[in-house]
Structure 1
Amino acid sequence: MNETRGEAMKQMIVHCTQHITRMALLENGRLVEYAAERDQQQGLVGSYYKGRVINVLPGMQAAFVDIGQKKNAFLYVDDVLHPHLDRQPDVKPSIETLLQPGQDIVVQVRKEPSGGKGARVTTHYTLPGRWMVYMPFADYVGVSKKISRDAERSRLKGIGERLRMKEEGVIMRTVSQDEPHEAVEGDLSFLRAQWDNITRRAQTAEAPALLHRDLSIVQRFIRDAFNPQRDQLIIDSPAAVKEAKAFLDDMAPDGYKPVSLHNGTESIFTAYGVQEQLHKSFSRKITLEGGATMIWDETEALTVIDVNTAQYIGGASLEETVTNTNLLAAEEIGRLIRLRDTGGIIIVDFIDMEEDIHRKMVTERLEKVICKDRTKTHVLGWTRLGLLEMTRKKARHDSASFAPILCQCCGGTGKVGEWMD
């Protein structure tokens, strides 16, 4: 079994309405993740389609593929080449030599459509399981970087090498740490069967056709973040409770099933303090412990976070006060980036510090919080202007997010132009 000592106790709070399912993840009572999904608008990421190449664009080294959605999907040349870098040619070929218009092709969605853009798709197929990610043609074994013990990394890599067949690839997930050989093998067998089902459907389906849809929002969070031995799952829908228990039976047939139905008179989000935390965490202005503040602005290209001491006066000197403020802000920024599912380029304007060691302390505090995030995030460092740069991958869009409706007059800026004669 996984070693759980020192881990935060997690509660998954699921609020189901007629058309929307909302999920909040609490760690020791503090909100760290939130997601929502409309019943008729389940996300595309992770789903498999048999598509048809519509056109090939050599100048963009890309092709557009009809997968049955409103917008054709975008397939870049790198996503057509072999998934193992060592198996790719030294000189990247033209997309025209790999794909032709009218060709049928099986693709997996890696990024949701947004705005006027279609979905981003790939032929680097992956199927995530409880303990591993299965890649039918990757031809290598990887181990999560979050597993730090060398002996455990070697053990898991050895298990992967012994279990995989020719051409297959696997990545051992963080939760596979200390899991027995039999559990990992069972996960791989299940994923192989899933892949076989996809390939069989592809042989008979007429493009464009859906071959396999990823799990629902609740099932994904159970698979990726739930530990049946210590965490709790509270749902306010009897039907959803039944579905979650059935999914847990498949995932952990011998384990304890800590799933309960919320029967209180008040909303489940109100009863567990989720609603109040959502309002505070999704505000433009966020007040930190001691009175310091952050201003959070999102544009189409990037997110900008401005840190201010405001009423915080907690240090013996100006440098100490500034550093303490920035450390508080770094910890909260790490949590909120994960909670708000902020993606793309992120710029943080911390308060200016004189000492390099203090900037390093702030970076390390931020990285310590970010390491809990399952989404890949890179802290790039400080610019010459004293701004901290970072990037975070975001594959899914907010299909039913907790977000205010923008004012039709000011567009969310809080400013209305005044025209004078």
Structure 2
Amino acid sequence: MKQLFIHCSNQVTQSALMEDGVLTEFAVERTEGASLIGNLYKGRVVNVLPGMQAAFVDIGLTKNAFLYVDDVLHPHLDKQPKEKPPIGELLKPGDELLVQVMKEPLGGKGARVTTHYSIPGRWLVYMPDADYIGVSKKIEQEPERSRLRSLAETIREQAEGVILRTNAAGESREALEEDLNGLRRVWRSIAERSGHAKAPFELHRDTGLVGRMVRDVISPDTEQLIVDDEARAEEAKSYLRQTAPALEGRVQLYREAKPLFERFGIKEQLDKAFQSRIWLPSGGYLVWEQTEALTVIDVNTGKYTGSVDLEETVFQTNGEAADEVARLLRLRDVGGIIIIDFIDMEIEEHRHQVAQRLETRIKRDRTKCQVVGWTRLGLMELTRKKARENAMKYFYEPCAACKGSGKIYIR
């Protein structure tokens, strides 16, 4: 059973997704300074860096945005030149262009932007110039993939690109076409405003956290959407009324005095999930360390001694760890390189089964995640797309005394 909870306060809006009573996703957005991802701007090229094949673009933020040459070329690979041209042939300082934020400012870096525009809807993603059709990999049945691809071919116009989202499975041509027409109208409005706007200028802001979660997460297998703010509950109902009327009745307004996240045990699960040591059901545990470049996870048997032999004890602990790591990567919204130091296993089949178990659990992740495999040193390597600040940044800050190193200075 899937349940989505949304808690609203004056400072932040928080969403929590529960699957069979287990917390699997958590997101936070400040009331002021909402997410920039998906926003479109008319920007001005400030500087071109031939050595990095990139340019800095002023889009009106504190720091200039970063634009790679790959994000200037045509979005369809078949229409790109065989050899990348120098960035200086494509852009000059002072040029004005329409860009979309694909990665928020992180640390000291500015936002990363692209000219490969995409506007997400309920059933599909519209890409005005991409000229290709894609189908979500999570739709695995080949007949349904073929049906959706054929439908997209008949409803798109020349040069348009369309990606059918997971939610599109089973939907009619009419529903898909209505979604596409709405996204076309949004794009045409953006393009028209861009022609008159003076850079830097914000042309389009993607929907906030509540809208995104309703659009991207709510599906027929979602039992409830519980919101503790009347205005946001009505916002969710209004969107579903237009796109999925059968699901509107699943939105519930929470009115009890006890805080929403405490009432449903979400706060308790969050507290455990964001600790540096996370206990596994058997008594083993994970040690979770975050650095700027990567995330390192160490697996330990802890209190678990097993009942058969050492190899079986290690295998069981690693299996539990694979499940928990996959869940926590989603929950913590970890991005970048991830290294897992599983306990050494002697039997090759056990190594294979643990890797498969991890891959299977990771398929539930809505963010692109790739299991690279075992390294020569026996470590498991993964990558996960990083677009936003880690959720921990909203609630934790480095200690003023140790600067986050966690060490005690002895005089």
The whole-number CA distance in structure 1 between the counterparts of 2:365 and 2:217 is 10
- How does 1:8-407 map onto structure 2 within 5 Å? 9-227=1-219, 230-253=222-245, 255-398=247-390, 401=393, 403-407=395-399
What amino acid is aligned across from residue 261 of structure 2 in structure 1?
A: F
Structure 1 residue 181 displacement after superposition: 1.3
Structure 1 residue 182 displacement after superposition: 1.1
Contact 1:135 1:168 survives alignment (8 Å) = yes
What is the number of equivalent residue pairs in this alignment?
Answer: 411
Structure 1 residue 314 displacement after superposition: 2.6
RMSD: 1.3
Query: Aligned residue for 1:4?
Result: none
Give the secondary-structure state (helix, strand or coil) at the position aligned to 1:391.
strand
Structure 1 residue 73 displacement after superposition: 0.5
Residue by residue over 1:324-352, the C-alpha shift from the partner in whole angstroms, topping out at 9 and shown as x without a partner, is 00000000000000000000000000000
5+ residue gaps in structure 1?
A: 1-8
CA distance 1:297–1:150, change in 2 (3 Å): same
Structure 1 residue 405 displacement after superposition: 3.2
CA distance 1:388–1:201, change in 2 (3 Å): same
Contact 1:35 1:401 survives alignment (8 Å) = no
Give the secondary-structure state (helix, strand or coil) at the position aligned to 2:51.
coil
Give the secondary-structure state (helix, strand or coil) at the position aligned to 1:12.
strand
Structure 1 residue 153 displacement after superposition: 0.9
The farther-off stretch of 265-274 and 229-238 is 229-238
The whole-number CA distance in structure 2 between the counterparts of 1:49 and 1:223 is 23
Contact 1:228 1:256 survives alignment (8 Å) = no
Contact 1:41 1:399 survives alignment (8 Å) = no
The farther-off stretch of 279-288 and 142-151 is 142-151
The farther-off stretch of 294-303 and 225-234 is 225-234
Contact 1:50 1:105 survives alignment (8 Å) = yes
5+ residue gaps in structure 2?
A: none
TM-score, normalised to structure 1's length? Answer: 0.95
Structure 1 residue 263 displacement after superposition: 1.4
The whole-number CA distance in structure 1 between the counterparts of 2:236 and 2:102 is 25
What amino acid is aligned across from residue 375 of structure 2 in structure 1?
A: T
TM-score, normalised to structure 2's length? Answer: 0.97
Structure 1 residue 399 displacement after superposition: 7.0
Give the secondary-structure state (helix, strand or coil) at the position aligned to 1:231.
strand
